[in-house]
Structure 1
Amino acid sequence: MSMQLGATDRETRFAHLIEAIMNKNMLPEDRHEIAALLESMGWNDGRAQEAFGVADIFELAAEIWETIKRRVVTTAFAVNEQTGVAATTMQLVKSFLRGVIFALPMALSVISMLTLRFSLWSYQNLSVELATCIAIGTIASFIVVGGYTQAIARRGFFYISQSYYNMARKVTFQFIRFGYVTAGVCGLLLLVANVVFNLFPMAMFLYIILYFFFLTSIWLSVTVMYILRRELTFTGLIVIGIGIVYVLFQVAGWDIIFSQLVAILVVSVAGMGLVLYYFNQAEKKEEKGIAPKLTRLPIAVYAIMPYFIYGFLYFTFLFVDRVMAWSANESYMPYFIWFRGEYELGLDFALLSLMIPLGVCEVMVNKMMLEVEASYKRYWGFEAGLMNERFQQIYVRMLVIVTAVSAASAALIFYLMLIFDRMYLASRGEHLIASNTTMFVFVIGLLSYVILAIGLMNSVTLFAISQPELINKAIVRALLVNMVTGFLLSRWIGYEWAVFGVLAGSVVFTLLSYRSMRQVLGKLDYYLYVMS
């Protein structure tokens, strides 16, 4: 009886392994490619021997190869079944909501500022000194951990997609530890620079470091919740954090900075605790068996490095214009960076226009990748050219849709801001958009983000086809254009003209990523083979 159960257990594990192999490549070339796929999934000789009683990984690959060949011979070529309209619609709606919900915390923060005059980490009536501290801490936190958020998303989701939640937890917290260590090293370097060059008074520097570390913890936890599909949980944490600030600041009468730091600490600790809880719950449902071993760290770092670089470059691109604007030497500059609220307010309002396009991009890319997966069965090998042409046409439709949605979203946000401005004036006797500088930055920012949304669609698509290097080439050049344009115009004309750096960089990024998309789609069959 025990021998029979053992044989059945082996057959089940073997069938699951074949499915995992064929999900990566439905038609592997030979047993050697299967061996390579097994190694990429964490298999080695010891694990193969323990799980299936084979001598090494090559013997296991040969057994899988023979089974797949029998499947190919005995399975007729057929057009894949079409997904029902209701199921397809539901899947697309979920994709849209997933893209929108990711940007929801940002929207909640802006709404909180409009209604309560404070959010989890900002306050309308702060002194410029304190606003400068919070701004520097916030930007530094995004840039320092931006690469780690991409690494967590890529590597963690790799294991989650195979239902290896235990391994996903291990690799996720490995990168989280690296993120904290990097933040600590950067904080120490900032301290040394501040002591040597006397950049800020120590009281201001302390605020910078506190916001930097606490926000770093929040960004790391939100990334894990995203790959676990718990975006609404983090949105709820933001709401709770704002509620804590309200109680401590408005009800208890505490200092706003202390209230925010307490709230951020609670949110960051709660976020990490919930991440552990969700992983533990998922691991309880995980199929028991011989778990894969973590990929050796040097190999994992090499594989994830392009995505890490993109995360760093992307957040640097988003914030470098602010550094250019805030460091422009105007009539009063007590420190080398001096926060300018009129500039920040315009960009914050403009950033809301990305919410709907992000949701649409998620839908478009998911739909395209479903079509790519279906094309494995829909086209013969000699029809690769036809497949490439079809996806070029699909891409053109995606461009038209995302461009139209982005433009409509920008127009909607502009109209809503004008309405809110009138409401603000009626209720408080002051304008929401109180200066020409804010309106100038707001309009140019809207135009920039309309163009950037197209580039982001290209980047998500190229990530899905495992071509991060092409996106990195585009964003490096876009970042340089952003920096140079913003620096020169902010010095030659006025600090608010740094926003043209965002516009110029967005144009360059979108054009270069468009060229990369055309290159990939022209030889899509080749890139899909490389990806598999």
Structure 2
Amino acid sequence: MIVEFESRAELFDRLVGEVQKRNMFPEDRYEIAALLESMGWNDGRVGEKFGMHDVFELADAIWEQIQQRVVVTPFEPPPKRDLTYMIVELSKSFLRGVIFALPMAISVLSMLTLKFSLWSYEFLSVELATCIAIGTILSFIVVGGYTQAIARRGFFYLFQGYYNMGRKVTFKFIRLGYITCLITCVLIYGFNLIFNIFPSNMFIYIVLYFFFLTSIWLSVTVMYILRRELTFTGLIILGIILVYILMSYTPLDIIFSQLISIFFVSVVGMVLAVHYFRLAERKEEKGIAPQLPRMSITIYSVMPYFVYGFLYFFFLFVDRINAWSAHEWYMPYFIWFRGEYELGLDFALLALMIPLGVSEVIVHKLMLDMEDAQKRYWGSETESMNRHFRKVYYKMIAVIGTASVASGAIVWKGLFMANDKYIEFAGKPLIREDTVTEFVFIVSVASYVILAVALMNAVILFSLSQADLVNRSIIPAVVANMVVGFLLSRWFDYHYAIFGLLVGSIIFATLTTIQMLRVLKKLDYYLYAAN
């Protein structure tokens, strides 16, 4: 009995320490109870470990213990970060943002030089291009919510050093992602069987690309939260090399070469995801092993982020759906791939690389400043703090706006300057003047420049745990994108669907900016709520 008492006492002391790591001075017993529940404690576990009735009884005991430990500490200014430290940290943030977009740039470069990438090919028939495009879009839309949920909940545990819990919750969402993928395959098979939208040979290709690309996106998210983005870039390069080898040295055609390579990348990506988590778990400090909260609670907490992931990718692709489904004189299927339209969008995506890097830098700097501000400002100075960060935000808008416009101009000018060189290399221009590709490229560059501002706002609001405000902004943007693109593509020509993306980006950027200004007016409240 003495040993059991001593064991409970040790466990209790460690638990008090862990609660105080979360919040050195909890507001009351109820905040302690909430902290305990977030750490995986429930009534059953409390009874088993401490012989108490419920979480609230344990919270009362911890509250009393903390009150006995309370000491008065002098106000300390935040630590000063020297110039070298800030340069290193901000450089890391910039590279992190750029590296995240690097696979996209590599895929475009591969198409320009090799005529193929991991899941595209310049000389594909329109039927096969349609299959790959539908499979790709489905993979992003279906898995988009799960990638956001993994990023949100995975970071939540990894930031606290709970790598084991991070791995468990991440792979729970990955399993749900695969289940959703399989259910989607069954549903679209049934739909296609009833309405005969596509012939069976096309449908098989749609499902194969959809399933394997879904697996790739799920593994990429794990690498992102574990800060292994370069690994995914390496996998994309390796996959492209494998496609080249299979095409050049085996009897396989491009489709089977790509499917084998995508399967290889998806399997290796998932194996590496498990391996990297295992390595990360070795860093975890041993102590009280928290339990995951019930899955229903976890799903409820990440649902706004899940919804955003779905809406965001639907927003990115709805203009394509409008353009490809606009009927002309020859439409063998409900959706018919338009290569000229897609090419303009792909080139324009390059304009997002620099803004993504800049956004990482200025948002990282903002979060550091907000952390310091909570130590630098007294409670009576909240209005002064809020005004300060509103001024900082205006500067951020100017920086991201300038970077986006500059990036768009560089890509625009660079692409047209490269035309002559590409004619020498490939015998034809990248973009012909007065074509659909040039038109879509110009409008989509403008769209992505504006979208960069909206994405910066979204990241800040997510950092303050205000996902609902982001969703309130993106829903009208999605509706506008869908309606404007649909109407213009039917009234005029299919490529006018790109104006849906432009209008939607303007609305998304405007509404998130309004939400940001509202938050910054009461920043002290939102910082308290986020903590």
- For the Cα contact (< 8 Å) 2:19–2:32, is it kept in 1? no
Runs of 5+ consecutive residues of structure 2 not aligned to the other structure: none
Note the 1:316-395 alignment, pairs <5 A. 316-395=314-393
TM superposition shift of 1:77: 0.9
Paired residue type of 1:32: Y
| Residue of structure 1 equivalent to 2:222 | 224
Secondary structure at 1:285 match in 2: coil
Q: 1:5 to 1:102 in 2, by over 3 A?
A: farther
TM superposition shift of 1:17: 0.6
- For the Cα contact (< 8 Å) 2:39–2:292, is it kept in 1? no
- For the Cα contact (< 8 Å) 1:51–1:290, is it kept in 2? no
Note the 1:355-504 alignment, pairs <5 A. 355-434=353-432, 436-504=435-503
| Residue of structure 2 equivalent to 1:528 | 527
Q: 1:162 to 1:49 in 2, by over 3 A?
A: farther
Secondary structure at 2:332 match in 1: coil
- For the Cα contact (< 8 Å) 1:98–1:359, is it kept in 2? yes
- For the Cα contact (< 8 Å) 2:93–2:364, is it kept in 1? yes
For the residues of structure 1 that align with 2:67 and 2:360, how far apart are their CA atoms?
Answer: 36
- For the Cα contact (< 8 Å) 2:15–2:288, is it kept in 1? no
Paired residue type of 2:322: M
| Residue of structure 1 equivalent to 2:169 | 171
Q: TM-score, normalised by structure 1?
A: 0.95
- For the Cα contact (< 8 Å) 1:110–1:119, is it kept in 2? yes
- For the Cα contact (< 8 Å) 1:470–1:516, is it kept in 2? yes
Secondary structure at 1:432 match in 2: coil
- For the Cα contact (< 8 Å) 1:452–1:509, is it kept in 2? yes
For the residues of structure 2 that align with 1:187 and 1:421, how far apart are their CA atoms?
Answer: 41
TM superposition shift of 1:88: 1.7
Please, which moves more after superposition, 431-440 or 307-316? Answer: 431-440
TM superposition shift of 1:441: 0.5
Please, which moves more after superposition, 308-317 or 102-111? Answer: 102-111
1:281-327 deviation line (CA, Å, top 9, x unaligned): 22223222331111101111111100000000000000000000001
Note the 1:49-88 alignment, pairs <5 A. 57-58=55-56, 60-62=58-60, 64-65=62-63, 73-88=71-86
Paired residue type of 1:477: P
1:156-200 deviation line (CA, Å, top 9, x unaligned): 111111111111111111111111111111111111111111101
Identity between Structure 1 and Structure 2 (%): 60
For the residues of structure 2 that align with 1:377 and 1:47, how far apart are their CA atoms?
Answer: 36
Q: 1:423 to 1:480 in 2, by over 3 A?
A: same
Paired residue type of 2:443: I
Q: 1:421 to 1:253 in 2, by over 3 A?
A: farther
For the residues of structure 2 that align with 1:57 and 1:11, how far apart are their CA atoms?
Answer: 13
Paired residue type of 2:173: F
Q: Does 1:305 align with 2:306?
A: no
TM superposition shift of 1:76: 0.3
For the residues of structure 1 that align with 2:223 and 2:67, how far apart are their CA atoms?
Answer: 40
- For the Cα contact (< 8 Å) 1:165–1:283, is it kept in 2? yes
Q: Provide the aligned C-alpha RMSD in A.
A: 2.2
Q: 1:60 to 1:374 in 2, by over 3 A?
A: farther
Secondary structure at 2:507 match in 1: helix
TM superposition shift of 1:433: 0.9
For the residues of structure 2 that align with 1:30 and 1:12, how far apart are their CA atoms?
Answer: 18
For the residues of structure 2 that align with 1:77 and 1:116, how far apart are their CA atoms?
Answer: 62
| Residue of structure 2 equivalent to 1:13 | 14
Aligned to 2:143, which of 137, 145, 149? 145
| Residue of structure 1 equivalent to 2:87 | 89
1:385-435 deviation line (CA, Å, top 9, x unaligned): 111111111111110000000001111111221122211111222011135
* Count of residue correspondences: 529
Q: 1:437 to 1:528 in 2, by over 3 A?
A: same
For the residues of structure 1 that align with 2:458 and 2:46, how far apart are their CA atoms?
Answer: 37
